[in-house]
C-alpha cells in the first residue's frame, strides 16, 4: 500500500516536471486599452494550448515600447505607432501587428437637449483650442440647424494622464486643423491650451456627466458599456457618422487599400464611405528575429489564432474586429518573424 502510494507520488511528480519543462512562458507588456480582449485571448488560447502561457502587464503604451526595447519582455503592445527614433533605439527590428480597433467619441452634457449633436473635426479642434467658448456659437449652430443651444460656457475636459485615447483624439484634430497641429501637436499627453483633466475614461466621463455645459472624449467601448450618449462626427467623405463597431471596421477597411507594409498607419480621418473618422488600430510589437525561437514559434501561432478565431471575441467586449483584407496582409507579414 505504502509502496504504491510512493510510486504514485513519484509518477505525478515526474509528470508535473515534464509538463513544466514543455510549457512555453511568454511575457508581454503595454497598452491598457486592449487589455480586456488580450486577457480574454490569452486565457482562451491557454485552454486550447495548455503548454503556452502568456502573461501580460497593462502598464501603458509608452511603458510597453520601453520594456520591449529593453528586451525585458518578449513582446510589447501599443495604441500608438513607434516613431523612427524609438525604432532605432531598439536592439533589433521591431514589427507592428494590428490586433483590434478602437475609436474615440465626443461626449457632452447639455441639460434638456434631446437631439444628438453633430461635430466636425475643425469645430472640435477650435473647442479644444479654446477658440469656441459658448454652446450657442454660430459654428456649432451651423452644423446643428434647428437645435436650440444654450448661451452657456463650454467646459472642456480631457484626459489627465498620458493615454492612447488622447493620442487618437489629437491625431485626428491635428489632421483636420493646421492650427491644432502647430499649437498642440500629437502625443499621448499634450500641453492643453484649455480645460480640466480627469484621470482615466471614468474621470472624464464623471466630469462630463456632472458638469452642465461640458465636453469630453472617451473610448467607444467605455461609452457603449456605460451607455453614455455621444455626438456624431463628420468624416472625410462628408457624412456624419455615429461611432459603432461597424463604422470603425469600415474605417480600417478603407485604409487597408493604402496599407504600408509595416502596418504603421494612422486611420483617423479615413477616406471611405461610412468610416468613423476617430478610429485607430492597436498594435502588438514583435521582434523580427527574437532570441528565443521557442517563444517566437508559440507567439506567432498565437497571433495567427488571435487574428482568425480570436476575432469573434471582439464584439462581446466592444472592440471592432479587423477587416478581412487587413488580416490577410498580416498573415503574410507574420511569415517574416523568425521561428527557428
Partner 1 sequence: MGQRGKQGSSGSADLGFRIGTGVFALFLIGIVCAIGFLLTRDAWLSIQKFGLGFWGSQVWNPVSGEFGALPFIWGTLYSSVLALLIATPISIGIAVFIAEMSPAVLRQPLVFLTELLAAIPSIVYGLWGIFVLVPAVRSIETSLPDVARRLPLFSGPPLGLGMLAAALVLAIMVIPFTSSIAREVLKSVPAAQREGAYALGATRLEAIRAALFYARTGIIGGVMLGFGRALGETMAVTMVIGNNPRISASLFAPQHTMAAVIANEFTEAADQLYLSALVEIGLVLFTITLIVNSLSRLLIWSMTRSSRVSVAGSVETAEPLAAETAAG
324 grid coordinates: 478581412
The grid coordinates listed for 178 are 493646421
Residues composing the chain: 340
Least distance in angstroms from the C-beta of 114 to partner 1? 24
Least gap, CB of 78 to partner 1 (angstroms): 9
Chain mean position to CA 164? 6
Name which of 86 and 244 has its Cβ closer to partner 1.
86
State whether residue 334 is helix, strand or coil: helix
Residue closer to partner 1 (CB basis): 199 or 293: 199
Interatomic CA distance for residues 158 and 240, integer angstroms: 23
Nearer CB in complex with partner 1: 24/155: 155
Q: How far is the CB of 162 from partner 1 (least distance, A)?
A: 3
Q: Which strands sit side by side in the sheet containing 52-57, from one edge to the other?
A: 52-57, 24-30, 75-78, 279-287, 94-109, 214-219, 155-159, 196-198
- Smallest distance, partner 1 to C-beta of residue 251, A: 23
To partner 1, the closest distance from the beta carbon of 303 in angstroms equals 23
The residue (of 199 and 338) whose beta carbon lies closer to partner 1 is: 199
With H, G, I as helix, E, B as strand and everything else as coil, classify residue 97: strand
Q: Report the nearest approach of partner 1 to the CB of residue 189 (Å).
A: 5
Element (H, E) at 79: none
The CA distance from 2 to 235, in Å, is 76
CA distances for 91 relative to 19, 85, 87, 235, angstroms: 33, 12, 9, 39
Instruction: Give min distance, CB of 175 to partner 1, in A.
Output: 15
Take residue 80 and report the three cell numbers written for it: 500608438
Longest dimension (CA), the chain: 90
In whole angstroms, give the CA distance from residue 10 to residue 14. 6
Burial zone of 325 (CB within 10 Å; 0-12 exposed, 13-18 middle, 19+ buried): middle
> Residue 5 or 85: which CB sits closer to partner 1?
85
Binding residues (CB under 8 A) for partner 1: these are 59-63, 65-66, 86, 153, 155, 160-164, 184-192, 195-199, 203, 206-207, 210-211
Nearer to partner 1, 41 or 192 (CB): 192
Question: DSSP label at 153?
Answer: B
187 versus 325: smaller Cβ distance to partner 1? 187
Amino acid at each position: 500500500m505504502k509502496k504504491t502510494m510512493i510510486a504514485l507520488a513519484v509518477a505525478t511528480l515526474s509528470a508535473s516536471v515534464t509538463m513544466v519543462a514543455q510549457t512555453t512562458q511568454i511575457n508581454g507588456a503595454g497598452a491598457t486599452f486592449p487589455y480586456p480582449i488580450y486577457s480574454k485571448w490569452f486565457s482562451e488560447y491557454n485552454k486550447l494550448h495548455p503548454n503556452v502561457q502568456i502573461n501580460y502587464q497593462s502598464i501603458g503604451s509608452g511603458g510597453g515600447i520601453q520594456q520591449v526595447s529593453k528586451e525585458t519582455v518578449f513582446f510589447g503592445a501599443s495604441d500608438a505607432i513607434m516613431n523612427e527614433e524609438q525604432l532605432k533605439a531598439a536592439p533589433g527590428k521591431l514589427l507592428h501587428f494590428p490586433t483590434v480597433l478602437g475609436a474615440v467619441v465626443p461626449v457632452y452634457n447639455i441639460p434638456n437637449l434631446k437631439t444628438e449633436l453633430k461635430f466636425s473635426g475643425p469645430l472640435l479642434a477650435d473647442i479644444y483650442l479654446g477658440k469656441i467658448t459658448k454652446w450657442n456659437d454660430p459654428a456649432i449652430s451651423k452644423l446643428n440647424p434647428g437645435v436650440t443651444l444654450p448661451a452657456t460656457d463650454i467646459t472642456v475636459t480631457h484626459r489627465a494622464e498620458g493615454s492612447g485615447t488622447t493620442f487618437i483624439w489629437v491625431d485626428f484634430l491635428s489632421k483636420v486643423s493646421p492650427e491644432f497641429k502647430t499649437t498642440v501637436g500629437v502625443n499621448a499627453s499634450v500641453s492643453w491650451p484649455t480645460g480640466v483633466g480627469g484621470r482615466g475614461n471614468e474621470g472624464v466621463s464623471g466630469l462630463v456627466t456632472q458638469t452642465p455645459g461640458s465636453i469630453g472624449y472617451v473610448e467607444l467601448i467605455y461609452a457603449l458599456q456605460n451607455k453614455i450618449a455621444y455626438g456624431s462626427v463628420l468624416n472625410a467623405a462628408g457624412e456624419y457618422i455615429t461611432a459603432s463597431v461597424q463604422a470603425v471596421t469600415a474605417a480600417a477597411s478603407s485604409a487597408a487599400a493604402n496599407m504600408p507594409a509595416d502596418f504603421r498607419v494612422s486611420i483617423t480621418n479615413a477616406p471611405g464611405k461610412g468610416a468613423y473618422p476617430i478610429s485607430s488600430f492597436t498594435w502588438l510589437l514583435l521582434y523580427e528575429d527574437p532570441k528565443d525561437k521557442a517563444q517566437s514559434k508559440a507567439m506567432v501561432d498565437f497571433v495567427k489564432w488571435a487574428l482568425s478565431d480570436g476575432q469573434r471575441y471582439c464584439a462581446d467586449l466592444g472592440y471592432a474586429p479587423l477587416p478581412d483584407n487587413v488580416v490577410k496582409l498580416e498573415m503574410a507579414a507574420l511569415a517574416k518573424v523568425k521561428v527557428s
